[in-house]
Amino acid sequence: MRKANVTRKTKETEIEVGVNLDGDGNYDVATGIGFLDHMLEQLARHSLMDLEVRAKGDLHIDFHHTTEDTGIAVGQAVRKALGESRGIVRFASALIPMDETLTRVAIDVSNRPYLIWKVAFSRPKLGEMDTELFKEWFQAFAQNAGVTLHVENLYGENNHHIVESCFKGLARALRTAVEIDPRAAGSIPSTKGTLDD
């Protein structure tokens, strides 16, 4: 089983994350930010990655540090659980409809972190959460998971649907990309022979 635990502690946040890439989509998430909890639950459920997150942050200031640092810690845990990434599919994409919304997510689990974010919101907040923080979460996740990640909302009107389709798209693409390819025979999915450089 590809599992990992990460603890991150700064003056701004204290975060503990556990992942099991070969799980059943179980989750136990508590960040203090209701909407972020909801999105992380979607990530776990639709990737079939078991995910446990405990975060305490300076929410009396705003949600920025807790959101970003949660993305960092989840990304680090995924990267750690992947190890050398032997035998994984590596590339994947997902096209996620949610009512009037359609979002496309493509991923390369390559240890080449990069984010393309083509997502716009018509409102500054969802509940109490600033919509601009969703890009911060995806950026932090991509950098620390070591993935190239392209997220593009093709169309949509409801901001909740837009961001939820982004997280579900990441979940489905990640699920496929980290699956073990039975034809790969434990090999590194790169002509370089490594995904560490």
Report yes or no on 184 lying in a domain: no
- Digit-coded pLDDT (tens) for 32-87: 999 999 999 999 999 999 999 999 999 999 999 999 999 999 999 999 999 999 99
Report yes or no on 190 lying in a domain: no
Report yes or no on 182 lying in a domain: no
- Which residues span the domain enclosing 100? 3-177
pLDDT score at 187: 81
The pair phi, psi for residue 138, each rounded to 5°, is -65, -40
Report yes or no on 46 lying in a domain: yes
Residue 155's CATH number: 3.30.230.40
Report yes or no on 188 lying in a domain: no
State the number of CA atoms in the 13 A half-sphere of 26 facing the CB: 7
Instruction: Count up the domains in the chain and report the number.
Output: 1
Rounded distance between C-alpha atoms, residue 171 and residue 153, angstroms = 15
Residue 117 class from Cβ within 10 Å (0-12 exposed, 13-18 middle, 19+ buried)?
middle
- Local structure of 23: helix, strand or coil: coil
Note the residue count of the chain.
197
Q: Which residues contact 32 (CB under 8 A, 6 or more apart)?
A: 55, 56, 57, 59, 66
Question: What is the H or E stretch that residue 38 is in?
Answer: helix 34-47
Report yes or no on 37 lying in a domain: yes
CA distances from 182 to 71, 86, 87, 88, 179 (A): 30, 11, 8, 9, 9
- Digit-coded pLDDT (tens) for 95-154: 999 999 999 999 999 999 999 999 999 999 998 899 999 999 999 999 999 999 999 999
Report yes or no on 193 lying in a domain: no
- Digit-coded pLDDT (tens) for 162-180: 999 999 999 999 999 999 9
CA-based diameter of the chain, in Å?
Answer: 51
Entry pTM = 0.95
Report yes or no on 82 lying in a domain: yes
